[in-house]
Amino acid sequence: MAFTIKMARAAVEKFNAVIEEKKEYLTDLDSAIGDADHGINMNRGMKRIIDKIQGKDYADFGGLFRDVAMTIMSVVGGSAGPLYGTFFMKLGQKLAGQGEVSVEEFAAAMGDGLSGVMSLGKSAVGDKTMVDAIDPAINALKEHAPEGDAAAWDAAVAAAEGGMKGTIPMLARRGRSSYLGERSIGHQDPGATSSYYLVSCLRDAFAEG
Ligand code: ADP
Ligand code: MG
């Protein structure tokens, strides 16, 4: 089964709801190794995105993800705004003109989004950031695609969760948490956590069809 524009829209709506539900938790995570604003930042951005997309009819991923990107970039301050904004912008550019793609094509577009994040953030896998949740999810999607789309999405969620938890023992090398040096060890990265939620929401939207 393909990944459709309807699923993408549902995933964005689910992401808003999950961020709303988890905003205090995300802010708690950010208070340990950052400035306690990740949940608030993301919540503000996602709410504005829902306002923006409501009542609009999107024929292709390009239009939807462009609106998501522009809104998150303009509303969400700090690092997460430009980073998530770039992710959604590149995702939309790669899928422009299409309203239905295979799981492999969606994974490739997420790969473009991730490359955008990594070049803007000068970050790599293992730096204790959102990259550590998104990168394994993309790899799992690609690796498990031959088993079918549902299996691939489930594997992606498990991989993102593993990546998120894998940030706990890491030493932060990018972003605000890197200022803590060794003291960043032992805490889960807030951005990797919100990125895990994003992958879960994509999977849930796919599963609901
Ligand atoms: P800020 O750090 O400006 O307060 P947020 O708290 O909203 O912004 O987001 C912090 C998250 O952003 C981190 O947990 C991390 O996952 C992600 N992040 C920060 N800097 C980078 C970077 N250079 N590359 C990739 N991700 C980053
Ligand atoms: Mg912060």
Residue 1: what pLDDT? 74
- Euclidean distance between CA atoms 180 and 198, whole angstroms: 27
Cα–Cα dist 209/205, whole Å: 6
Q: Would you state the pLDDT for residue 37? A: 96
How many angstroms separate the alpha carbon of residue 43 from the centre of ligand 1?
15
Atom 21 of ligand 1, residue of closest alpha carbon: 175
CA distances from 17 to 55, 106, 150, 159 (A): 18, 22, 22, 22
What is the CA(81)–ligand 1 centre distance, in A? 9
Q: Which ligand 1 atom lies nearest to the CA of residue 121?
A: 23
User: How far, in Å, from the CA of 119 to the mean position of ligand 1?
Assistant: 14
Closest CA to 158 of 196, 188, 132, 191: 196
Q: Which ligand is nearest to the CA of 72?
A: 1
Residue of 26, 119, 129 best suited for mutating to test ligand 1, as the one with most atoms within 8 Å of CB: 129
Q: Which CATH class is domain 3-208?
A: mainly alpha
What does the block give as tokens for 5?
């524009």
Residue 175 Cβ inside 6 Å of ligand 1? The answer reads yes
140-194 pLDDT per residue, tens: 999 999 999 999 999 999 999 999 999 999 999 999 999 999 999 999 999 999 9
Question: Ligand 1 within 6 A of 121 CB?
Answer: yes
pLDDT in tens, 12-70: 999 999 999 999 999 999 999 999 999 999 999 999 999 999 999 999 999 999 999 99
Report how far ligand 1's centroid is from the alpha carbon of 13 (Å): 22
Please give the angle made by the CA atoms of 142, 68 and 192, to the nearest 5 degrees. Answer: 50
- Please state the three-class secondary structure of the chain as a single string: CCEEHHHHHHHHHHHHHHHHHHHHHHHHHHHHHCCCCHHHHHHHHHHHHHHHHCCCCCCCHHHHHHHHHHHHHHHCCCCHHHHHHHHHHHHHHHCCCCCEECHHHHHHHHHHHHHHHHHHHCCCCCCCCCHHHHHHHHHHHHHHHHHCHHHHHHHHHHHHHHHHHHCCCCCCCCCHHHHHHHHHCCCCCHHHHHHHHHHHHHHHHHHHC
**What does DSSP say about strands 100-101 and 3-4: parallel, antiparallel, or unpaired?**
antiparallel
pLDDT digits (tens, 9 = 90+) for 186-202: 999 999 999 999 999 99
| Ligand 1 neighbour 16 (Cβ under 6 A) | no
pLDDT digits (tens, 9 = 90+) for 115-128: 999 999 999 999 99
Nearest C-alpha neighbor of 154 from the set 146, 164, 144: 144
What's the 158 CA to ligand 1 centre distance in angstroms?
22
Residue nearest to atom 5 of ligand 1 (CA): 38
For ligand 2, the distance from its centroid to the CA atom of residue 37, given in whole angstroms, is 4
